[in-house]
Structure 1
Amino acid sequence: MPVLSQLSDPAEWLNPDDVPRPVVTVGATGIDMKALDEKAAALYRDRKEMDFHHHRKGELLLALRGVLTCEVEGGLWIVPPQSAIWVPGGVVHKFVATGTLECYVAFIDPSVESNLPSTCCALSTTPLLRELLIRSASLPMLYADGGIESHLVTLLLDEIAAAPIGNLHLPMPTDARLRKIVEMIAASPADRGTMETWARRVGMSERTLARVLASQTGMSFGRWRQQLHLMLAVRWLGAGASVQQVADDLGYESASSFVSMFRKNLGSPPARYMSERA
């Protein structure tokens, strides 16, 4: 399959469900989402299906540059550089990219998904998995069955099945009032209103908000909001924001308190976390 860019011929942007091979991999490189003009951006969205859509085949998306956000019913994921997300076949999903995008996408037929996750999830990638995805993107669209190409695809599937599950996931409630809170927090993440304040803004009692949120996400309000802040932070850092800027935009009193929260949840401070994925 060809490696796609904003200069690619749209005729090359094929529907992977129509390709009679168990795995079809494509690459998209050097796409600056901010730099595209309106016409090119509209074409990119239409042909690359960045809005809600689904495939018969499952989809593994690896981000090498840029940060991707993936939303499905019941969940929101952040995919930082050098990470991946798995979306099973038939699941309606939406991708939004931040910054200059370089990614590889493997579409996998349901007939070979037996060892792959049954639900949408983030995956931590190994150097071998990344190289296999890049190499498979250079294969002919109709690569030969039973040859070295098939062996490469088999190894790729084994690596995907063995990849550890990542943790940049936010359970998304289905309740319309809670969805409104998500939108308001994302629009004003520095707002440190209490749970009672947020409940009142959407016409709920504090007790009802806590009960519905716990039943639909399994999280307390404080933990859920912190996870949303964490995902916003990774998105902004991936787009080039400084640690101080992110701390300010999230309403932290100091950069050090933000760094402490980030390290506690993701295992390393923000600068190191992002540099390891550069």
Structure 2
Amino acid sequence: MEQGLELEGYNPDLHADPAVAFRIRVGESEQEIPFHHHRKGQLILALHGGIACEVEQGVWMVPPQYAVWLPGGLAHSNRATANAQLCFLFIEPGAVNLPRSCCALKISPLVRELILTLAERRKTQSEPAQMARLVEVLFDELARQPVEQLQLPVSRHPKIRAMVEALAAKPDDRRTLAAWAAQFAMSERNLARLVVKETGLSFRRWRQQLQLIVALRLLIDGQQVTQVAQALGYDSTTAFITMFKKALGQTPGRYLRDAQTPASGL
């Protein structure tokens, strides 16, 4: 990631500031930060493009205007799309009332601008009292942001991992639960129970969530709605649009237009 000199070598655990923000531009190829952890919590806001965050029990795909929240001490990896524009916000543990587990948040325009302002004023070394007031307002609003279901529950169970890898590589795979059970030499009922136990979702709902994550990545990469529908094996574009709108509250066409609007000032 083209993080800039102000983030290069920055170790959040060496600082006790309540909040520190950085604006980041990703290079022309997808970039990944391998598994790591730090004492401070981290909010990663996507301005343009997207970022996928993986923890032990799930994967979050964050599109523009959303953020992923990673509590302090949680091991995670980050994978950003090419040319993505992001904000990293490091938060001192206990400084703000946010969920204790990893989650995706829908970020309001006000919170977005507060984070951007914090990043800009940090570079200009604004007065500590001004920064403190800005952070106080940010924390008040940040605690109000709604949680969105943009995660794919996963586990270390080899059968779940095998399905994740196969469906991620070939998302139009329409194998039934019975077919997967036959491949794993187990009964359909036992596999259904295993999926629910390991992911908290039924097989049908879990596979749909995986397809949504893949669809977000493909849309961010610039593919058209019809192409994404075909890639996911939908019989019609309309069926894909219906699924997408039910999950995210807007059509993929509207989402794609929003995702292709770069953030100003970067």
For the criterion TM > 0.5, the same-fold answer is yes
The match for 2:118 is 136
- Which residue of 184, 201, 214 maps to 1:232? 214
- Which residue of 187, 198, 207 maps to 1:205? 187
Structure 1: gaps spanning 5 or more residues: 35-40
The match for 1:275 is 257
Take 2:121 and 2:9, find their aligned partners in 1: how far apart are those partners? 15
The match for 1:27 is 23
Residue type at the aligned position of 1:212? L
1:19 deviates by 2.1
The match for 1:65 is 48
In structure 2, the CA distance between the partners of 1:107 and 1:10, relative to structure 1 (3 Å rule), is: closer
Does the aligned pair in 2 maintain the 1:25–1:137 contact within 8 Å?
yes
Structure 2: gaps spanning 5 or more residues: 262-266
Residue type at the aligned position of 2:60? W
Take 1:157 and 1:11, find their aligned partners in 2: how far apart are those partners? 22
Does the aligned pair in 2 maintain the 1:143–1:149 contact within 8 Å?
no
Counting matched residue pairs gives 260
Q: Which moved more, 1:53-62 or 1:21-30?
A: 21-30
The match for 1:196 is 178
The match for 1:37 is none
In structure 2, the CA distance between the partners of 1:265 and 1:111, relative to structure 1 (3 Å rule), is: closer
The match for 1:90 is 73
Instruction: Find out whether 1:54 has 2:37 as its counterpart.
Output: yes
Take 2:125 and 2:95, find their aligned partners in 1: how far apart are those partners? 17
Does the aligned pair in 2 maintain the 1:31–1:102 contact within 8 Å?
no
Take 2:47 and 2:7, find their aligned partners in 1: how far apart are those partners? 25
Take 2:124 and 2:160, find their aligned partners in 1: how far apart are those partners? 46
Take 2:256 and 2:2, find their aligned partners in 1: how far apart are those partners? 24
Instruction: Find out whether 1:12 has 2:12 as its counterpart.
Output: no
Take 1:241 and 1:190, find their aligned partners in 2: how far apart are those partners? 16
Instruction: Find out whether 1:252 has 2:234 as its counterpart.
Output: yes
SS in 1 for 2:87: strand
1:30 deviates by 5.0
The match for 1:223 is 205
Does the aligned pair in 2 maintain the 1:67–1:98 contact within 8 Å?
yes
1:221 deviates by 0.6
The match for 1:38 is none
Does the aligned pair in 2 maintain the 1:180–1:202 contact within 8 Å?
no
SS in 2 for 1:5: coil
In structure 2, the CA distance between the partners of 1:266 and 1:222, relative to structure 1 (3 Å rule), is: same
Question: What are the superposed Cα offsets for residues 79-113 of structure 1, whole Å, 9 maximum, x if unpaired?
Answer: 00111010000001111112311000111111414
Does the aligned pair in 1 maintain the 2:16–2:92 contact within 8 Å?
no
Alignment root-mean-square deviation, CA:
2.1
SS in 2 for 1:117: coil
Does the aligned pair in 1 maintain the 2:69–2:102 contact within 8 Å?
yes
1:117 deviates by 1.2
The match for 1:173 is 155
